[in-house]
Amino acid sequence: FEAGSKRKYGAVKREPVGVVLAIAPFNYPVNLSASKIAPALIGGNVVIFKPPTQGSISGLLLTQVFAEAGIPAGVFNSVTGKGSEIGDYLIEHKEVNFINFTGSTPIGEKIGKLAGMRPIMLELGGKDAGIVLEDADLENAAKNIVAGAFSYSGQRCTAIKRVLVMDSVADKLAELIKEKVEKLTVGDPFDNADITTVIDTPSADFIEGLIKDAQEKGAKALTTVKREKNLIWPVVFDNVTTDMRIAWEEPFGPVLPIIRVKSVDEAVEIANKSEYGLQSAVFTKNFPLAFEIAEKLEVGTVHINNKTQRGPDSFPFLGIKGSGAGVQGIKYSIESMTRVKSIVFDI
Ligand code: NAP
């Protein structure tokens, strides 16, 4: 008898998990679908793709592209239908070995419960904070905050969804943000307007509810509050307080709350009180302090002096707490959707 493992040798390889169910949201119907499908196929899996109903035409065009690229029939399959109707059937299907989902937190939580012991990847909602310190380049901060908050009319998981700014520079930053937001054009996407209609009427109603709550509780609108059908003018609220819904809830629309804080500790505390933990941005010239804050923030990624964003597909992308489970990114996604097989022998 020989103790220990000196005589054991192992061959370790990765193998496909089997059938991957990929479910994508409406806001990036091609990118957030392809970033699930391609790594799953590279890992040797079979894919069942359910595009978002409001992005299903893009999803089907993507399906056609994969077919034209020569993916054999049956290896990549698309199933259309409303998630509320076919979702449970797909998720609970015994042949599905892995669920890769991007969408809202309530649906992600439901999927988590239905998945049982099968592995999942969830990329969910967010409430990304832009933290602005006293020594920040305010022009750069305002530029990135406005682009981060209002591109795609705010319908991005990684949109900047709240600004936490030090009191001493808050007036100046608010003025710079207001100037830039007033320059955003509002209207038809075919006219290249910056702000266009949000996805549907329930979403517009929800956003309006957040706006009204903020107004009733004393937030100061720096820009015009206006809605025409599903078109919501970009609105910046200053003097937002933590009793307002807009301080915590994800609008997924063109609304940006500014919360004034007295210290870095207060900024970190409010940032971390969120149920979400996707990303944050820190604006400062003090890099050691930026790293210190980054270490304390309960999020997947912290950007320094730039807007929150998914970034290159090769970077790890993840949310913690209510923002998700698992890590995306080309290498990380392939690893998630394959499993380790060890073959061990003694010599
Ligand atoms: P959603 O309503 O959760 O829908 C996402 C996908 O899930 C759609 O394909 C939808 O199908 C499907 N679905 C709906 N109900 C389902 C069910 N019961 N079972 C299975 N699938 C179901 O989200 P969304 O409104 O499209 O997207 C906005 C949300 O996604 C925001 O919260 C945003 O923050 C989040 N998001 C997160 C990331 C990230 O990477 N962290 C990226 C983008 C978006 P139908 O379209 O047929 O309803």
Q: Given a cut of 70, is residue 181 above it in pLDDT?
A: yes
Percent of the chain residues past pLDDT 70, beyond the cut: 99
Q: Which residues line ligand 1 (CB under 6 A)?
A: 23-27, 32, 50, 52-54, 82-84, 87, 91, 102-104, 107, 110, 123-126, 157, 250, 252, 278, 319, 323-324
Q: What is the pLDDT of residues 16-28, one digit of tens each?
A: 999 999 999 999 9
pLDDT tens for each residue of 156-180: 999 999 999 999 999 999 999 999 9
Tens-digit pLDDT profile for residues 82-131 = 999 999 999 999 999 999 999 999 999 999 999 999 999 999 999 999 99
CA 104 to CA 211: how far, in whole Å? 20
- When the pLDDT of each residue in the chain is averaged and rounded to a whole number, the result is 97
pLDDT, tens digit, 9 for 90 and up, residues 188-235 = 999 999 999 999 999 999 999 999 999 999 999 999 999 999 999 999
State the catalytic residue, choosing from 157, 249, 269, 292. 157
- Of ligand 1's atoms, which has the minimum distance to the CA of residue 108? 3
| Residues 79, 90 contacting (CB under 8 angstroms) | yes
Confidence at residue 7, expressed as pLDDT on a 0 to 100 scale: 86
Angle at 212 between CA 210 and CA 216, to 5 degrees: 120
For the entire predicted model, the pTM comes to 0.95
Active site residue 157: yes
Ligand 1 atom closest to Cα of 310? Answer: 40
SS3 state of residue 99: strand
Q: How far is the CA of 15 from the centre of ligand 1 (A)?
A: 29
Residue 104 CA, ligand 1 centroid: distance in Å: 5
Kindly give the distance from the C-alpha atom of residue 229 to the centroid of ligand 1, in angstroms, as a whole number.
Answer: 23
Distances, alpha carbon 99 to alpha carbons 22, 72, 338, in Å: 6, 21, 12
**Residue 1 predicted with pLDDT over 90:** no
Percent of the chain whose pLDDT exceeds 90: 96
End-to-end CA distance of the chain: 13
DSSP 8-state assignment for residue 5: S
Ligand 1 geometric centre to CA of 7 (Å) = 50
Confidence band of 2 (pLDDT split at 50, 70, 90): low
pLDDT digits (tens, 9 = 90+) for 241-259: 999 999 999 999 999 999 9
At residue 3, the pLDDT reads: 59
pLDDT for 271: 98
**Of 21, 27, 105, 207, best ligand 1 pocket probe by most atoms within 8 Å of the beta carbon:** 27
Centre of ligand 1 from the C-alpha of residue 80, in Å: 14
Residue 157 CA, closest ligand 1 atom number: 34
Measured from the CA of 51, which atom of ligand 1 is nearest? Answer: 9
Checking if the pLDDT of 63 tops 70, the result is yes
Side-chain half-sphere of 52: how many Cα atoms within 13 Å? Answer: 20
How far apart are alpha carbons 270 and 135 in whole angstroms?
20
In this structure, the number of other CB atoms found within 10 A of the CB of residue 118 comes to: 15
Ligand 1, atom 42, lies closest to the CA of: 157
